[in-house]
Amino acid sequence: MQKRLVLARLVLGAVAAFTPPQASFGQARPQSQPPTSRRSQRVHMQEVQVASPDGKIKFTILPNAERLTFTVTMGNAVVIEPSPIVMKLDGHDLSSGVVFNNLERYSIDESYLWYGAHATAVNRCNGAKVSLTHDLSFTPYTFEVRVFNDGVAYRHVIPGEENASCAQDEYSTFVIPDGSRPSSQDDTRTSLVLGRGPIQCCVPS
């Protein structure tokens, strides 16, 4: 059996660069609990939080079994508000109706030679592998999170037969606090563009 690594968009899942100190982030506020339904009584998801090695950045998977949801904070500031994860495989929404099975935590601290802006690349993070099962299709998979001192990442690891075909799609949403300043990474020139103006919430009239 071969595992398919399904990477969310924005470079290995949700990769956020938390560099601009001038950015205006919302303040952390208590998360409301999702409403109880018949389905939520049979599915179960516990809160999982992974912190960066320096403890400043935290990626939190909220205890919402109806819809896999995450949030990211840096200190007391919210940099990604509660955002839904949507991973579909063969017509099944694997992120809706999840059963928590197991949690494995780990740390990485390594460096290696690299050709680029820096001669030495550093890979230092804390990670977690969350074992889940979709309650309708009984599909088991792993939701993996890594948190660095300057960003976060996640991915889905879904088992599958070596020559099996599948139809997959990913519709996760990243909810940025109103007033934040965006940054973008150019994949071809590895240049970082900062401060293109605050993000404003557009409400239809």
Evaluate if pTM is beyond 0.85.
no
Banded model confidence at residue 204, pLDDT cuts 50, 70, 90: very low
Count Cβ atoms within 10 A of the Cβ of residue 68 and give its class: 0-12 exposed, 13-18 middle, 19 or more buried.
Answer: buried
Assess if CATH 3.40.50.300 describes domain 2-26+37-194: no
Distance CA 144, CA 103 (A): 10
- Closest of 123, 180, 171 to residue 146, by C-alpha: 123
**Residue with more model confidence, 12 or 101:** 101
- Closest of 140, 154, 145, 60 to residue 98, by C-alpha: 140
Are residues 147 and 126 in contact, defined by beta-carbon separation less than 8 angstroms? yes
Banded model confidence at residue 44, pLDDT cuts 50, 70, 90: confident
Domain ranges of the chain: 2-26+37-194
Distance CA 36, CA 77 (A): 29
**pLDDT of 54:** 97
**pLDDT of 25:** 41
Query: Considering the chain, what is the average pLDDT of its residues?
Result: 77
Distance CA 129, CA 157 (A): 9
**Residue with more model confidence, 22 or 48:** 48
Q: How confident is the model over 174-202, as pLDDT tens digits?
A: 898 888 876 665 554 443 343 445 555 44
DSSP tag of 67? S
